[in-house]
Amino acid sequence: MSERTYVDIEAELTDQPINFDEDICLAENVVYIKPQTLIDVPMHYCPGCGHSTAHKILMEVVDEMGIQEEIIGVAPVGCSVFAYHYMNVDMQEAAHGRACAVATGIKRIMPEKYVFTYQGDGDLAAIGTAETVHAANRGENILVVFINNGIYGMTSGQMAPTTLPGMVTTTSPYGRDVKTQGYPLYISNLLANLPGVAYVSRHSVHTPNNVRKAKKSIAKALEYQKQGLGFCMVEIVTNCPSNWKMTPKQSNQFVEEKMIPFYPLGDIKVPEGK
């Protein structure tokens, strides 16, 4: 890390003195700072990508629960394939779609540890559907953070199982035709029906309030894991500005106007008595 402070760099770049109130910028006054468990490197995600926000809140929860040394993560294949470069916890990189199986292997031999997978829609709900459904059905005591942006980001914009009807992608160039290309998969609702599943909740990270809620939900899920309640999934409906061919702002608007009405936010299943 550079020894220069942010203030120095900004002053150099803007070529003018920056007015920071030193009376306020004191450690005791910090209300938000990057979580320590998020490794201090630039993330490869596109500007405005919800993956980064999801990484951030997941690591905030790990920080706040103080479980950095007790948690093992499983990274997927997709845009978040490099999640282990950003999360400062022990991690394994799974084959495409197999994260829940890998997590099962880890959790079964170390039931005392926290285990999470971080998966996108293609990984979790297309190629990895079997692994996801069966891990859920066995009630594997793991947390699945499911990022749903309705598109394949890493391979540059192909149709995902969760692509909205009529939505244009590189493999549904005339819009997803449900008659020939199938319907969007409500994987969270599907999993919520299984008795092994303890908690399923859907959130977004496009506004400050939604970020807060999503974070709370992840914290809850890890708490349930500690109590051994079973399979927990937090779905995060988010954006893909680059492959939706939108600015980050427009993409968040699309999340608000199109994605959320189709994938309504909130708890889908909560443990009994919670």
Binding to other proteins, residues 124-163 (CB under 8 A):
130-131, 134
Report strand pairing: 266-269 vs 197-204.
antiparallel
**CA separation for the pair 159, 236 (Å, rounded):** 18
Whole-Å CA distances, 17 to 2, 90, 96, 112:
20, 42, 49, 52
Nearer to other proteins, 135 or 167 (CB): 135
Give Cβ neighbours of residue 116 (< 8 Å, ≥ 6 apart).
58, 71, 72, 73, 74, 103, 142, 143, 144, 145, 222
| Cα-to-chain-centroid distance, residue 93 | 16
149 DSSP β-pair partners:
none
- Examine residue 66 and tell whether it contacts other proteins (CB under 8 A): no
Q: Which of residues 161-220 bind other proteins (CB under 8 A)?
A: 205-208, 211-212
- Examine residue 33 and tell whether it contacts other proteins (CB under 8 A): yes
One character per residue 42-61, x = contact with other proteins (rule: CB under 8 A) = xx-xxxxxxxxx--x-----
Token pair for 156: 């540059």
Residues 152, 159: contact at Cβ < 8 Å?
Answer: yes
- Examine residue 65 and tell whether it contacts other proteins (CB under 8 A): no
Q: Which of residues 215-244 bind other proteins (CB under 8 A)?
A: 241
Q: Count residues binding other proteins (CB under 8 A).
A: 78
| Minimum distance from residue 207 beta carbon to other proteins (Å) | 7
Stretch that binds other proteins, among 89-97, 173-181, 186-194, 220-228 (CB under 8 A): 89-97
| Minimum distance from residue 179 beta carbon to other proteins (Å) | 30
Nearer to other proteins, 34 or 274 (CB): 34
- Examine residue 245 and tell whether it contacts other proteins (CB under 8 A): no
- Examine residue 3 and tell whether it contacts other proteins (CB under 8 A): no
- Examine residue 274 and tell whether it contacts other proteins (CB under 8 A): no
**CA separation for the pair 255, 211 (Å, rounded):** 14
